[in-house]
Amino acid sequence: MVKIGYLGPRGTFTKLAVDTAFNGEDKQSFTTIPECIDAVHDEQVDIGVVPLENAIEGTVQLTVDYLVHQVRLPIIAEIVVPIQQHLLVAREFSSDLSEVTDVYSHSHAIAQCHQFLHKYMPDAKLYFTSSTGKAAEMVSNSGEKIAAIGNRLAASEYGLTIYQENIHDYPNNHTRFAVLAKDKQIVQISHETQAEKTSLLITLPSDYAGALYQVLAAFAWRKMNLSKIESRPMKTGLGNYFFIVDVNQPYDDVLFPGVKAELEALGCNVTILGTYPVHQMQL
C-alpha cells in the first residue's frame, strides 16, 4: 500500500489536505517539515505532503529552502485547501479571553490572525510551534489559561473547545500544499484538476543591470504566463538571490528547453522543481 507522510501530528491543516486528496492509503505523521521531506528521500514513505504557500502570509520558507538547499525532490502535485482558523481552548476553560496568558500555533497561523490577537488578546504571549496540531496537543496536555490557533479537526482530535470561530484576518484564506514523490506514477489524486503548472528554480549570474528583465523577457516573448515569482537568499552572502518562478502551463519539449537555453546563454542556472496538476479542494 502507498505510504503518505505529512506534517503532523494529528489535526494539522496538512492532514486535512491529505485526507481530502487521498483515501485509504497508509498515512504517517512527521513533527517537522524537514523530517517529512527526509522521509520521502530515505524512502520511509512514498509520498510527502508539506505546506508551500498561504494566501495571507505567503511562502512557507522552510519548505522552499529545504527543497532548494537540502533535499531536491520533485513536486508532483499541488493541493489547494481553504483555511479557517479558530481559537481553541481546553474543555475546562471557563474564563474570558483576557485570562488567556499564552497562545500557541504555527507561525503562519499566528500571522493569519494578527489583527484578532492585537485587538482581543493584546497581552497574550505568542509562541510558535512546528504545526497547529502540535499547538492543540500542547493545550490539551497543559489545560487552562492557554490557547491554540488551529482547525476544527484539531479541536475534535484533542478534545478542545472552539472558543471563537474564524479568527483569521482576511477571508479567502487558502494554502497550497506540495505533494512530493520520487515516482510520479505512484500518486493518484482522483479529484478534478483545474490547471497544470511548472515551477522553476533560476539563479542569476553575478549582478548586472537588467538581468532579471532579460530572464522575464525569455518567458514574455514566448507568451508563457507566470503566476508567481519570488526571490530567496542563496545563503552565500548578502545580495545573492535565487528565484522561484511558477509558469501556468505544463512542461513541454519546445518552450521550456527554449527558455532554459536562452537563460543559460545569459549565465543563469535553471532547474525544474516540478511540473504538476493543481487540485483545488473544498473541505
Ligand X SMILES: O=C(O)C(=O)Cc1ccccc1
* Contacting positions for ligand X (CB under 6 A): 7, 12-14, 51, 54, 83, 106, 108-109, 131-133, 175
Burial of residue 23, with CB atoms counted within 10 A of its CB: 0-12 exposed, 13-18 middle, 19 or more buried: exposed
The pairing of strands 269-280 and 75-82 is: parallel
Q: Cell numbers at residue 186, please?
A: 505512484
Contact 112, 155 (CB under 8 A): no
Q: From the CB of 59, what's the least distance to ligand X, in Å?
A: 12
Whole-number Å distance between alpha carbons of 139 and 100? 11
> Considering beta carbons, is residue 128 or 163 the nearer one to ligand X?
128
Q: Which is nearer to ligand X, 54 or 140 (CB)?
A: 54
| Burial (CB count within 10 angstroms: exposed 0-12, middle 13-18, buried 19+), residue 107 | middle
Of 7 and 80, the one with the shorter C-beta distance to ligand X is 7
Is 171 or 250 the residue whose CB approaches ligand X more closely? Answer: 171
Please, what is the minimum distance in Å from the beta carbon of residue 81 to ligand X?
A: 8
Q: Minimal distance in Å, beta carbon 95 to ligand X?
A: 26
Q: Which is nearer to ligand X, 63 or 198 (CB)?
A: 63
Q: How far is the CB of 229 from ligand X (least distance, A)?
A: 22
CB of 238 to ligand X, least distance (A): 29
